[in-house]
Each structure stands twice: as structure tokens, then as C-alpha cells.
Structure 1
Amino acid sequence: MMWLFGQIFVLCLVSFVAGAAMTAVVFVMRPTLFSPPAPAPEPTGQRKLVEMDAE
């Protein structure tokens, strides 16, 4: 019975460490995922011509 409790404890410990590692990767290593988007450039009132190549 003690063996079963030991196995469950090790499983919980491993899952906790894995979750902490994933949290560190997502929140610490990649802060750009949660940064606010850059503001859109203000319109200048000029139109841009776009030409397409004939195929």
C-alpha cells in the first residue's frame, strides 16, 4: 500500500514540475504573446496605387 502512495506522490510531483516548466516557457520566455498589439498607423489621406503583373 505504501508503494502505491509513493507512486502517486511521484506522479503528482512530476506533473507539477512539468506544469511549472510549461508555465515558465509560455509566460517568461515568450512575453510577446501577451503584449498589446501595435497601434495602427494613422491615415495620411493619400491612396496607394498597386499594379499587378500581367501573366
Structure 2
Amino acid sequence: MGMTEEQTTQPENPKERDKVISFQLNVPTVDLQQLQVQPEALALVPLRVALE
């Protein structure tokens, strides 16, 4: 069973678009502006990678 055109059309609003893609891929969304990253995890990221 395929998706209807309405289900596959991507909204222009970025947050709504992310919700649609998240639903289609069955992957939860994460708001990185609200996420608290543990300092121990940040210490594992090499500086050159963090600056990319």
C-alpha cells in the first residue's frame, strides 16, 4: 500500500517538514536547541570535527 500525494508532499514550514520526514522514516525528531549535551560526551568529539 503506497502513500497518497498529500502524504508525500513536503510542507514548507521546516518544523512541519521535519515531522513528516520523521513519520515517514519512523525516526523521532530531536530539537537540538532544547537538548542538553553532557560535557563528557562533548569531550569525545575532536576539535576539528566540532569546527566542521
Fold shared, TM-score > 0.5 on shorter chain: no
TM-score by length of 1: 0.22
TM-score by length of 2: 0.22
Q: Determine which structure has more spread, i.e. the larger CA radius of gyration.
A: 1
Greater relative contact order: 1 or 2 (C-alpha under 8 angstroms, separation 6 or more)?
A: 2
